[in-house]
Amino acid sequence: MSTTTPMTPMSAAHHTLPTGSPLSRFGWTLADAWTITLRDLNHWVLRPGTVIVGWVFPVMIVLMFGGLFGGAIGVPGGGGYFEFLMPGMFAMTMLFGLETTMMAVTTDAARGVTDRFRSMPMSASAVVLGRCVADMLNSVVGLVIMIGTGLLLGWRWEGGSAAAPAAVGLLLLLRFALLWVGIFVGLIAGGPEVVTSVQILVWPVGFLSSVFVDPATMPGWLGAIAQWNPLSTTATAARQLFGNPGWGGESWIAQNATLMAVVWPLLLIAIFLPLSARGFRRLGG
């Protein structure tokens, strides 16, 4: 089984593409996925504006909320608003990443690029895997920039040496779960126009959470929804692990935020990963 491609005219005449063993097939899946990832990294280089705006936007939100509204917002436990806001905004940054995924998936599908991939003898899962790696890299950079911004603004983590990486891990787990939501929505959307309108919904989801304010300040039923919002549980878990001020309360969800910061993403993955896979299959009618 040839795994390399000798480029002499002689071999070119009767070259057979590798279809062979599961191991070589898996190797090709990884290689193909990396090619797809590189494609996105090339986008960063060729259109730096788009990706940089994506990274800077959450910083702007931090400055806006922290600077403009922060003084008017009371923080549970009496800490500084930046201390409260930053972990919430880390979670919010993961949510913004959803927009990148949706847009990329739907644009490829609408432009026929997905069909070209599917008409090639490459592994189908490589397309998704490549998207995963590229989007996770994007969000890791975004998160690093946000942590840097927080440090510049005086935010600190107080927890132990294992707690902070655990918080980062939970944030990226949420991003990974949202990736599958994004792929699914991107596949069923049918075009960038539809995605643009879906993107607006990111805001109500963001506001109806504990990212910006303590849910205890909301009307009871609204506060309950905000507490159970997956964004809130991850934000709350991050606050606890970073040792930052957060909201408390006697409710079950307030007591078990860290548990739910694991359960919610796993639940989202369990729902949307199969749905995305089905979406890809359904492209084939």
Partner 1 sequence: MSADLPAWPDGKRVDVKAVEFAIAAQGVRKNYAGAAEGAGLNGFDLQVPVGTVCGLLGPNGAGKTTAIRILTTLLRPDSGRASVAGFDVRAQPRQVRERIGLVGQYAAVDEILTGRQNLVMFARLSHFSSAGAKRRADELLERFSLADTGKKPVGKYSGGMRRRLDLAASLIVAPPVLFVDEPTTGLDPAGRREVWAAIRDLVGSGTTVLLTTQYLEEADRLADRISMLRAGRVVTEGTPEELKSAIGGDWLDIVLADAEDVAATEVIAGRIASGEVRVDGEARRVSVPVAERTRALVTMATALGDAGVEPVDITLRRPTLDEVFLHLMGEQTPTGEETVIDHQTLTGERAVIDDRAATDDRAGEPPGGGDPAANRPASAGPATGTEATV
For position 15 contacting partner 1 by CB under 8 A, the verdict is yes
The residue among 9 and 78 lying less far from partner 1, judged by its C-beta, is: 9
Q: CA of 7: how far to CAs of 15, 20, 32, 35, in Å?
A: 10, 20, 19, 20
Contact map string, positions 166 to 205, toward partner 1, x by CB under 8 A? ----------------------------------------
The residue among 57 and 117 lying less far from partner 1, judged by its C-beta, is: 117
Length of the chain: 285
Among 22, 72, 78, 119, binds partner 1 (CB under 8 A): 119
CB of 44 to partner 1, least distance (A): 10
Name the residue among 194, 222, 192, 193 with its Cα closest to residue 208.
Answer: 222
For position 116 contacting partner 1 by CB under 8 A, the verdict is yes
The residue among 14 and 204 lying less far from partner 1, judged by its C-beta, is: 14
Among 103, 122, 129, 177, binds partner 1 (CB under 8 A): 122
Among 20, 26, 30, 47, binds partner 1 (CB under 8 A): 47
For position 278 contacting partner 1 by CB under 8 A, the verdict is no
CB of 18 to partner 1, least distance (A): 7
Among 31, 64, 263, 266, binds partner 1 (CB under 8 A): 31
Tokens 């079950």 correspond to: 252
For position 148 contacting partner 1 by CB under 8 A, the verdict is no
For position 14 contacting partner 1 by CB under 8 A, the verdict is yes
CB of 19 to partner 1, least distance (A): 6
How many angstroms separate the CA atoms of 174 and 143, rounded? 12
Tell me the number of residues near partner 1 by CB under 8 A: 37
Residue ranges binding partner 1 (CB under 8 A): 4-5, 7, 9, 12-19, 28, 31-32, 35-36, 38-39, 42-43, 46-47, 111-113, 115-122, 283-285
